[in-house]
Amino acid sequence: MRPGQSSFDTYPSLTCRAYSKFPRENQQGAYRRGILSALNHGETRNKLARKVFHGQKGELRQRYREGQEDQLGALGLVVNIIVLWNTRYMEAALDHLRATGFDVRDEDVQRLTPLIWEHIELHGRYAFPEDQLPAGTLRPLRDPTAPDEPDL
């Protein structure tokens, strides 16, 4: 080693050495696609969080750390509720399609994501009375052939 040169400059990291042992097609093929897919999922989740966090112009307005933690915790809770809601209804829709004889391919299902929000009104206040739906039931699925209902 020359003076002023660190060991990081002369020896590649263990990760780089391990990565270099994979065949070239694996480096550029399935591994890279998997990494890209994970990054896309993370970015989509962040987009959803930014959409939900529209109040106060998307800024943390609490002065104290505990207040900021509460605000971020509530954001995470709402995002998780949206993902759960979408997952349950996507599963119900897929079950309905399968029950009616529609060919639902596994490769199409793999491309679905519950990280969508265009169908959810994100502005306003909401009330969720417990007696609105019996426990464990879902609202009926929308009929895609029926005309759209006007917004209230």
**Predicted confidence (pLDDT) per residue in 28-38, tens digit:** 677 777 777 77
Give the span between the Cα atoms of 75 and 59, in whole angstroms: 12
Residue 73 — pLDDT band, cuts 50, 70, 90? confident
Q: How far apart are CA 151 and CA 77, in angstroms?
A: 27
Instruction: Please indicate, yes or no, if residue 90 is contained in any of the structural domains.
Output: yes
Largest CA distance in the chain: 77
Say if 71 falls within a structural domain. yes
Q: Could you tell me if 51 and 121 are in contact, meaning their C-beta atoms sit under 8 angstroms apart?
A: no
Residues 140, 83: Cα–Cα separation, whole Å: 19
pLDDT at 150: 58
What total number of domains does the chain contain? 1
Q: Answer yes or no: is 141 within a domain.
A: no
Compute the distance between CA of residue 19 and CA of residue 16 in angstroms, rounded to an integer.
5
Other CB atoms within a 10 A radius of the CB of residue 86 amount to 19
- 118 domain-assigned: no
pLDDT band at 99 (very low <50, low <70, confident <90, very high): very high
- State mean pLDDT over 73-101: 92
The pLDDT score that the predictor gives to residue 70 is: 82
- Euclidean distance between CA atoms 58 and 24, whole angstroms: 43
pLDDT tens digits, 48-62: 888 888 765 667 777
pLDDT at residue 19 greater than cutoff 60? no
Write out pLDDT tens, residues 100-150. 999 999 999 988 999 988 888 887 777 777 777 777 788 888 887 888 765
Within a domain: residue 145? no
| Residue 71 belongs to domain spanning | 42-110
On whether residue 80 sits in a domain, the answer given is yes
Residue 137 lies in a domain: no
**Confidence (pLDDT) at 10:** 47
CA distance 34 to 93: 27
CA atoms within 13 A on the CB side of 77: 6
Residue 81 lies in a domain: yes
